Amino acid sequence: MEKILITGATHGLGVRVAKMLESSFEVVLSASENIPEFMSHKIISIPKGVNPTFAHEMLKLALDKGCSYILPLLLLEIESLSRIL
């Protein structure tokens, strides 16, 4: 099964999207916000979308985790990733 890296996992949208996709993908969750302790074993911490290294860090994480897809859910993350295309 292919893997997908989803950002914004601490937001309601991220949780809903992950649940919708988990039957088709192995979902890897990430978030740039503070991750609650009880969720820290499920969610990977990533830099904020405004960080100049965001795109590089996301690519590195996706490659390290074997993800074929990255699904950014926050506007700043979408903008950051769209600049490298």
For residue range 5-54, list pLDDT tens digits in order: 999 999 999 999 999 999 999 999 999 999 989 999 999 999 999 999 99
Residue 80 has pLDDT above 90, yes or no: yes
pLDDT at 48: 96
pLDDT at 3: 98
Domain ranges (residues) in the chain: 3-82
User: Domain spanning 3-82: which CATH class is it, in words?
Assistant: alpha beta
Region 55-78: mean pLDDT is 96
| Cα–Cα distance for residue pair 8/31, rounded to 1 Å | 5
Contacts of 46 (CB under 8 A, 6+ apart): 7, 30, 31, 32, 54, 57, 58, 61
Helices and strands (H, E) in the chain, number of each type: 3, 4
pLDDT at 19: 97
Structure tokens belonging to residue 53: 């290294």
| Cα–Cα distance for residue pair 19/26, rounded to 1 Å | 11
